[in-house]
């Protein structure tokens, strides 16, 4: 996931300059507790679980700001500032590969990668992790041959465990941004964070 904390520090300083040191200290303290619930992700065979360490720090900041009396809208604002910059490609090479991956879906290389990915995400040895199904039917995926149904969301489980479920949907908003960076338009009918039974990811080429 890279050094994601620098993005948190940047926008905490931008929005809370006078309280920066205290907010960082409180966030780090909260993260130390919360991250024990996601430590399994570092060695998980399910690649989607890799998002959970970032999500732990994300939740740690939310908990800090909520305890500080910040409103949902203010918390959402800074969280989207952080995540929007974090997901941007950091080089021309990263930008190239983000755009390349959707183009590979209907090649033998792409099909092999999709099959391997599906085998890893369809099960999870840890009850706190993700479970997903990969959809390859072209009629169900706007001709792309690739879609995802998240059946169990590790982020929602984490936020629910710490009684912060109402904030989990903020991370869902970033999916539209990451799709756009890959040259795709995200089509989605619902998310687990907003009460649906699954998160369905379908894409159209831009």
Q: What pTM does this model have?
A: 0.94
Compute the distance between CA of residue 72 and CA of residue 77 in angstroms, rounded to an integer.
9
The token duo for 130 is: 């993700």
Q: Taking CA 88 as the corner, what is the angle to CA 59 and CA 144, rounded to the nearest 5 degrees?
A: 100
Contacts of 197 (CB under 8 A, 6+ apart): 190
Paired strand residues for 131: 152
Per-residue pLDDT of the chain (206 residues; tens, 9 = 90+): 458 999 999 999 999 999 999 999 999 999 999 999 999 999 999 999 999 999 999 999 999 999 999 999 999 999 999 999 999 999 999 999 999 989 999 899 999 999 999 999 999 999 999 999 999 999 999 999 999 999 999 999 999 999 999 999 999 999 999 999 999 999 999 999 999 999 999 999 98
Find the helix or strand (DSSP H, E) in which 169 lies: helix 169-172
DSSP code per residue over 129-149: S-EEEEE--GGGTTTSS-EEE
């Amino acid at each position: 996931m890279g050094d994601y904390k620098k993005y948190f520090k940047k926008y905490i300083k931008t929005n809370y300059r006078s309280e920066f040191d205290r907010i960082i200290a409180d966030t780090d303290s909260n993260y130390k507790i919360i991250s024990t619930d996601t430590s399994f992700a570092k060695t998980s065979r399910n690649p989607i679980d890799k998002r959970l360490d970032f999500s732990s720090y994300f939740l740690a900041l939310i908990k800090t700001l909520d305890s500080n009396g910040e409103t949902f809208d203010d918390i959402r604002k800074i969280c989207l500032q952080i995540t929007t910059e974090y997901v941007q490609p950091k080089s021309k090479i990263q930008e190239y590969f983000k755009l390349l991956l959707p183009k590979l879906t209907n090649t033998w290389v792409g099909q092999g990668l999709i099959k391997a990915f599906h085998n890893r995400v369809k099960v999870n040895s840890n009850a706190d992790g993700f479970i997903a199904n990969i959809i390859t039917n072209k009629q169900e995926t706007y001709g792309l041959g690739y879609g995802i149904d998240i059946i169990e969301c590790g982020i929602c489980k984490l936020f629910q465990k710490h009684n912060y479920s109402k904030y989990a949907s903020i991370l869902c908003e970033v999916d539209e941004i990451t799709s756009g960076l890959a040259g795709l338009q995200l089509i989605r009918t619902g998310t687990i964070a907003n009460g649906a039974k699954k998160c369905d990811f379908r894409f159209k080429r831009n």
